[in-house]
Amino acid sequence: MYIPRKMEKTALQLMEGFPCLAVTGARQSGKTTLARFLFPEKPYVSLEDPDRREFAENDPRSFLDRFPDGALFDEAQRVPSLFSYLQGRVDLDGRMGLFVLTGSQHFHLLENITQSLAGRTALLQLPPFSFDELRGAVLLPESADEAILSGGYPPLHTRKVERAAWFANYTATYLERDVRSILNVRDLSTFQRFLRLCSGRAGQLVNFSSLAGECGVVHNTAKAWFSILEAGSIVFLVRPYFRNFNKRLLQTPKLYFHDTGLLCHLLGIRSEEQLETHPLRGAVFENMVAVELLKARLNEGREPELYFWRDRSGFEIDFLIENDGFLDAVEVKSGKTVTREFFRAIGRWKEIAGKNAGKTFLIYGGDEEYEREGHSVLSWRNAGGIAGACR
């Protein structure tokens, strides 16, 4: 079952102007499915296959000679030496849209592209399903809590699979394959504890010293491990906005997970009843909005450009998005009933930002949508639509 992806148009447009297209992202986000659907005429080669990988490593010229009109190389980062030969091939050929590369290890794939294929490759990061994509396939859950628990990984929406078992297997596979292949982590249980500690800090300022201390590792190890989680599209950072408007601002970024289903699994939340009363429900709901905003921009091939604002007095705006010289503000509330209190922060933000203030949005846990006091009130279902509205 193929579910249409918002990234399709972007990928096809980029293939018209670049010899290569690289699609990266988390494991099981649908990279191979998307690439094979968009480019069915291209021969598909999985470089996870030992025989094909050995051929590509030992005789790259003969390997590439088999694909005079290009190909789709899955998990391309598995053969780093191939990239230099790809450079020579595309430069000699001159055609656009020859090769499609996919990879689950963003850092390694990007490193190889930067070294050998810079200027020749368009790079896209495919996230798991967005709410817009699930709604288009009539698969979006009815409640915000169920949507949070399900997350966006395609297998959980296209197969009959038990959620807790799938996430348990996904976590184990990620630890065994990606972590061992990138870092020499002798004690995987310690790394797994680090991952769970990160989940407990979703939506909060990240403190590597605190994480390191609780995990029993040194500060630099905690930072290195976090970088691996970023490279694997497990977590991401939202940084504070840099303009001070004569205010003293915090400089520490906030931590979020790319998938709320995985986040809930790591937190031990298995049901809507648990989530409804969980002390971190507000942070998890905020994480859901953050990742929907991120997905909307990634699917259009745009830089995330997502920030938050917090000054030394504790005043905070959940998210800021730059838009044509203005700053659009997003306030997030998990409650289903909108109250006047919900608008206090974005109202004050307009006073602080002055002429730099753009549109203001309130995303909440309810269903109705309307304008109130000059602010757009949006349901959780349309969180990702703000990215388009902010252009």
Q: What is the DSSP string of 62-124?
A: HHHHT-TT-EEEETGGG-TTHHHHHHHHHHHH--SS-EEEEES-HHHHHHHHHHH-TTTEEEE
Write down the pLDDT at residue 212. Answer: 94
DSSP secondary structure code for residue 324 in this structure: T
Mean pLDDT across 165-174: 91
Reference 152, options 292, 302, 22, 34; nearest CA is 292
How far is the first Cα of the chain from the last one, in angstroms, to the nearest whole number? 33
Asked if residue 21 lies in contact with residue 122, where contact means CB atoms within 8 angstroms, the answer is yes
pLDDT in the model for residue 244: 63
The reported pLDDT for the residue numbered 55 is: 97
Delimit the CATH 3.40.50.300 region(s) of the chain.
Answer: 8-125
Residues 206 and 199: their CA atoms lie apart, in Å, by 11
Distance CA 379, CA 373 (A): 17
Average pLDDT rounded to a whole number, residues 23-44: 95
8-125: CATH, from 3.40.50.300, 3.30.450.20, 3.40.50.970, 1.10.1660.10:
3.40.50.300
Q: 177: which DSSP letter?
A: I
Q: What is the pLDDT of residue 112?
A: 74
Section 288-304 average pLDDT? 93
Tokens 């959620």 locate to 163
What the block records as the tokens of 365 is: 């846990």
Residue 390 has pLDDT above 50, yes or no: no
Among candidate residues 150, 124, 144, 313, the one with its CA nearest the CA of residue 233: 124
Q: 131-280, what's its fold?
A: Arc Repressor Mutant, subunit A (1.10.10)
pLDDT of residue 391: 46
Give residue for tokens 């504070």.
Answer: 240
Q: What is the mean pLDDT of residues 341-353?
A: 90
**pLDDT tens, 228-244?**
899 889 999 999 987 76
Residue 248, pLDDT score: 62
Q: What is the pLDDT of residues 128-163, one digit of tens each?
A: 999 999 999 999 999 999 999 999 999 999 999 999
Quote the tokens at residue 389. Answer: 């509205």
> What is the residue whose two structure tokens read 């933000």?
349
The segment(s) of the chain belonging to CATH 1.10.10.10 are 131-280
* pLDDT band at 279; cut points 50, 70, 90: very high
Residue, of 247 and 391, whose pLDDT is higher: 247
Judge residue 280's burial from the number of C-beta atoms within 10 Å of its C-beta, 0-12 exposed, 13-18 middle, 19 or more buried: buried
pLDDT interval class at 177 (50, 70, 90):
confident
Whether the predicted pLDDT of 332 surpasses 60: yes
Q: What is the mean pLDDT of residues 283-288?
A: 98
Q: Which residues contact 102 (CB under 8 A, 6 or more apart)?
A: 22, 23, 24, 31, 32, 35, 72, 73, 74, 75, 76
**Count of helix runs (H) and strand runs (E) in the chain:** 19, 13
What is the pLDDT averaged over residues 1-22? 95
The residue with greater pLDDT, 53 or 391, is 53
Is beta strand 326-333 parallel, antiparallel or unpaired with respect to 316-323?
A: antiparallel
DSSP-derived 3-state class of residue 362: strand
CA distance linking residue 335 with residue 265, whole number of Å: 22
In 151-238, which ranges are continuous DSSP H helix?
155-158, 163-174, 180-182, 188-199, 208-215, 219-231
